[in-house]
């Protein structure tokens, strides 16, 4: 904007930032002048999104939450309203920088100043996490986007946490929920990335990442693609910190590791506990950083920025995955109403909106942040196949070729020509070679050598077979075969690391189409341009704007689990284990808790009605505890089911054991006891495992 503009009750003097959802203006109330003491910040939803219920909901969510927060370490909201169909929020103006610019443009902060910033952020989070509604009930607010660009630091050394746009609210007694997270990739907690329920401890993980970046002046989680960043977070790969470990005092490094643990229960239990640990460290080290120390760093940073880009010019935008926040504000409060009056907003903006947008984070978020969702024009890549001993040439689409490779319907010695190029073996074309299986579904089973162990589904359950490899901490390849269907499961020291299948429906693309996540046409478009993304379907889907990377990350996890869960439906089959066979290089290594997956598989294997019929048929059979009793505590069973299984202490008839407990619990106890090898039926196998 070239000159100040009137916007309702405010004069917008200049635009200082713009993001995917809103634009930010330096402003003042029409009743005041433009002196520094009267400045505020107006955050206005983009006109193109003003009628989009998702974005309107997110915007209202931010205003409604932030307006209730009155704390020196929280950015204050003064007003909220609508003018000419555009919603806006009026916030306090902080004369300073955000944490993102402080880290990247400031001089090394040092331990004392870094910990001062961290402790102030934790004070704000403690207030947020402990906030109660008018009835005194804990609201269970999770900020969900703790990152340097949402931490604002004034010239006076004040530290404030802002941007509650994706915060979630749930009363303490309600269940924790999972959702597709909308925060910045590099600061999410592992449980957010994989789609598990998360709570306030996810914010504390983000605080740990911020502390690490303050100390080393660099990103903790990075990668070549968005998916690789998410993988690094999921597995908590902390190489940047580990490389600089010698530069971080040992007690402080341990504090960082405590905050950055993978399991939420292993982190600090609260923001206050984390803050207390920081205070204790400062006390032991006889460090007493002050707001003045931080103010000196902020003013020096601002001086460098002004020298680099000139006054009254917005600093350089942050990377694409981050929206650079407001870089200046002032703490003097102008005479504006403190609490926004939502009753003044036109009902037009609420059309199509459900009140749950204020609280249900599953419904809100920017689905355009990773590229346009417009279906791209479909390019044409000419592929031709021929056998090495024949001149017959067959045209084929990339989608069909990849499907045929995975399902074993193409001979791997065929030659392929791409866009009129020479005919080459498949393994010499990188974009195709990565799809070639380590062992073909039709190969002679003796090719890797004789198996170290083999057997059949029937005498052993799928759960027992998987656990036999996991419990022995074996490394190698476990094959399952049935009626031309093959599953290949690779283990490394007892951990599942990779799963392949020759079922067409279990290919990633087919999985997404079958789940209604992707249309067939879009999948074919993505497969046609696969070579432009180095043969990676995931990167292709994200690059074309067909899926957000966090959503795709979760879908890939579900797809992998589905490959294993399908095994539990097999009534028969053969298995072989080849010790020492190495897993091929994979782009998406697994991170699966086998015991949890086994429980899911058993639950889905036998429907309730079928189970009841089986139990009725076996009513006079004898059931007894197994000779070796595996521990049930490792499995995610409810206490009633576990207690029912353990209640069987001697041989008895199925009918009598079923009558000894809760009829709503005993059938499932019977199923889990048999499948986990905890109980046995004398002289026979369960009927759902065919001969």
Report the 10 Å Cβ neighbour count for 524. Answer: 16
Q: Strand pairing partners for 456? A: 574
Distance CA 441, CA 486 (A): 6
Torsion of CA 172, 176, 177, 182, to 10 degrees: 80
Distance CA 423, CA 420 (A): 9
Chain centroid to Cα 651, Å, comes to: 47
What's the chain's Rg over C-alpha atoms? 30
Report the 10 Å Cβ neighbour count for 658. Answer: 20
Residue 145 falls in the annotated catalytic set: yes
- The arrangement of strands across the sheet holding 424-425 comes to 393-395, 383-386, 415-418, 424-425
Distance CA 325, CA 532 (A): 34
> Do the Cβ atoms of 366 and 516 come closer than 8 Å?
no
Which helix (DSSP H) or strand (DSSP E) does residue 86 occupy? Answer: strand 86-92
Report the 10 Å Cβ neighbour count for 504. Answer: 15
Token output for 501: 């299948």
Please tell me the number of Cα atoms within 13 Å of 202 on its side-chain side. 32
> Do the Cβ atoms of 670 and 605 come closer than 8 Å?
no
- Residue showing tokens 């930032």: 17
DSSP-derived letter for residue 84 is T
Chain centroid to Cα 408, Å, comes to: 33
b/e per residue 197-209 (b: at least 16 CB within 10 A):
ebbbbbbbbbbbb
> Do the Cβ atoms of 632 and 669 come closer than 8 Å?
no
Tell me the backbone φ, ψ of residue 574, rounded to 5 degrees: -120, 145
Q: What share of the chain is helix, strand, coil (3-state, %, to 5)?
A: 40, 15, 45
Angular region, 199: left φ>0, alpha ψ -120 to 50, beta rest: beta
Tell me the backbone φ, ψ of residue 305, rounded to 5 degrees: -65, -45
Cα angle for residues 137, 138, 140 (degrees, 5° grid): 145
> Do the Cβ atoms of 362 and 166 come closer than 8 Å?
no
Total residue count of the chain as it appears in this document: 691
Token output for 21: 């959802």
Please tell me the number of Cα atoms within 13 Å of 282 on its side-chain side. 20
> Do the Cβ atoms of 543 and 372 come closer than 8 Å?
no
- Annotate 619-661 with DSSP letters as a single string: TTSEEEE-SS---STTS---HHHHHHHHT--S-EEHHHHHHTS
- Annotate 196-218 with DSSP letters as a single string: ----HHHHHHHHHHHHHHHHHSS
- Identify the active-site residue in 145, 163, 199, 330: 145
Which helix (DSSP H) or strand (DSSP E) does residue 358 occupy? Answer: none
> Do the Cβ atoms of 408 and 441 come closer than 8 Å?
yes
Q: Which residues are catalytic?
A: 145
């Amino acid at each position: 904007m070239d000159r100040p503009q009137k916007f309702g009750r405010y004069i917008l003097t200049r635009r200082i930032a713009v993001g995917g959802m809103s634009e930010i203006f330096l402003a003042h109330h029409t009743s005041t002048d433009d002196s520094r003491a009267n400045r505020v910040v107006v955050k206005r939803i983009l006109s193109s999104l003003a009628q989009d219920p998702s974005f309107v909901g997110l915007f209202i969510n931010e205003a409604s939450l932030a307006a209730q927060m009155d704390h020196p370490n929280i950015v204050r909201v003064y007003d909220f309203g609508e003018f000419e169909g555009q919603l806006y929020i009026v916030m306090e103006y902080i004369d300073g920088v955000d944490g993102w610019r402080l880290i990247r443009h400031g001089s090394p902060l040092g331990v004392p100043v870094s910990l001062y910033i961290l402790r102030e952020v934790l004070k704000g989070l403690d207030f947020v996490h402990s906030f109660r509604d008018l009835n005194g009930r804990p609201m269970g607010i999770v900020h969900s986007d703790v990152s340097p660009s949402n931490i604002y630091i004034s010239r006076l050394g004040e530290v404030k946490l802002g941007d509650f746009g994706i915060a979630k609210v749930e009363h303490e007694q309600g269940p924790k929920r999972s959702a597709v997270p909308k925060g910045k990739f590099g600061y999410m907690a592992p449980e957010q990335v994989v789609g598990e329920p998360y709570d306030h401890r996810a914010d504390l993980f983000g605080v740990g990442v911020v502390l690490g970046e303050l100390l080393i002046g660099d990103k903790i989680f990075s990668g070549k693609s968005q998916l690789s960043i998410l993988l690094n977070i999921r597995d908590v790969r902390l190489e940047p910190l580990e490389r600089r470990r010698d530069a971080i005092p040992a007690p402080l490094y341990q504090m960082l590791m405590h905050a950055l643990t993978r399991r939420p229960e292993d982190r600090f239990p609260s923001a206050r506990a984390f803050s207390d640990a920081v205070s204790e460290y400062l006390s032991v080290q006889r460090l007493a950083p002050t707001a003045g120390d931080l103010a000196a760093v902020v003013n020096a940073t601002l001086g460098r920025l002004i020298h680099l880009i000139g006054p009254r010019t917005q600093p350089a935008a942050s990377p694409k995955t981050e929206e650079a926040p407001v870089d200046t504000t002032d703490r003097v409060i102008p005479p504006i109403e403190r609490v926004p009056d939502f009753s003044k907003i036109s009902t037009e903006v609420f059309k199509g909106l459900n009140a749950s947008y204020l609280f249900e984070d599953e419904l809100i978020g920017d689905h355009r942040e990773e590229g346009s969702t417009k279906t791209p024009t479909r390019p044409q890549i000419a592929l031709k196949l021929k056998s090495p001993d024949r001149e017959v040439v067959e045209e084929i689409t990339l989608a069909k070729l990849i499907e045929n490779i995975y399902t074993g319907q193409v001979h791997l010695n065929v030659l392929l020509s791409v866009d009129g190029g020479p005919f080459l073996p498949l393994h010499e074309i990188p974009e195709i070679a990565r799809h070639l299986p380590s062992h073909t579904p039709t190969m002679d089973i003796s090719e890797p050598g004789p198996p170290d162990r083999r057997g059949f589904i029937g005498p052993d359950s799928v759960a027992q077979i998987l656990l036999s490899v996991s419990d022995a901490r074996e490394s190698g390849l476990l094959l399952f075969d049935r009626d031309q269907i093959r599953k290949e499961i690779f283990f490394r020291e007892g951990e599942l690391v990779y799963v392949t299948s020759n079922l067409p429906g279990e290919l990633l693309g087919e999985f997404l189409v079958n789940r209604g996540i992707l249309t067939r046409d879009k999948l074919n478009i993505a497969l046609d341009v696969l070579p432009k993304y180095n043969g990676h379907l995931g990167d292709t889907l994200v690059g074309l704007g067909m899926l957000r990377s966090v959503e795709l990350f979760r879908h890939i996890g579900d797809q992998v689990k589905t490959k294993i869960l399908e095994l539990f439906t097999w009534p028969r089959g053969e298995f072989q284990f080849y010790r020492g066979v190495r897993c091929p290089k994979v782009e998406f290594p697994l991170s699966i808790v086998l015991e949890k997956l086994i429980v899911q598989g058993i639950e889905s294997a036998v429907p309730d009605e079928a189970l009841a019929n089986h139990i009725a048929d076996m009513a006079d059979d004898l059931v007894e505890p197994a000779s070796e009793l595996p521990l049930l505590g490792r499995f995610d069973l409810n206490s009633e089911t576990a207690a029912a299984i353990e209640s069987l202490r001697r041989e008895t008839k199925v009918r009598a054991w079923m009558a000894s407990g809760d009829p709503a619990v005993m059938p499932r106890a019977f199923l889990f006891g048999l499948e986990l090898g905890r109980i046995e039926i004398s002289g026979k196998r369960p009927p759902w495992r065919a001969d």
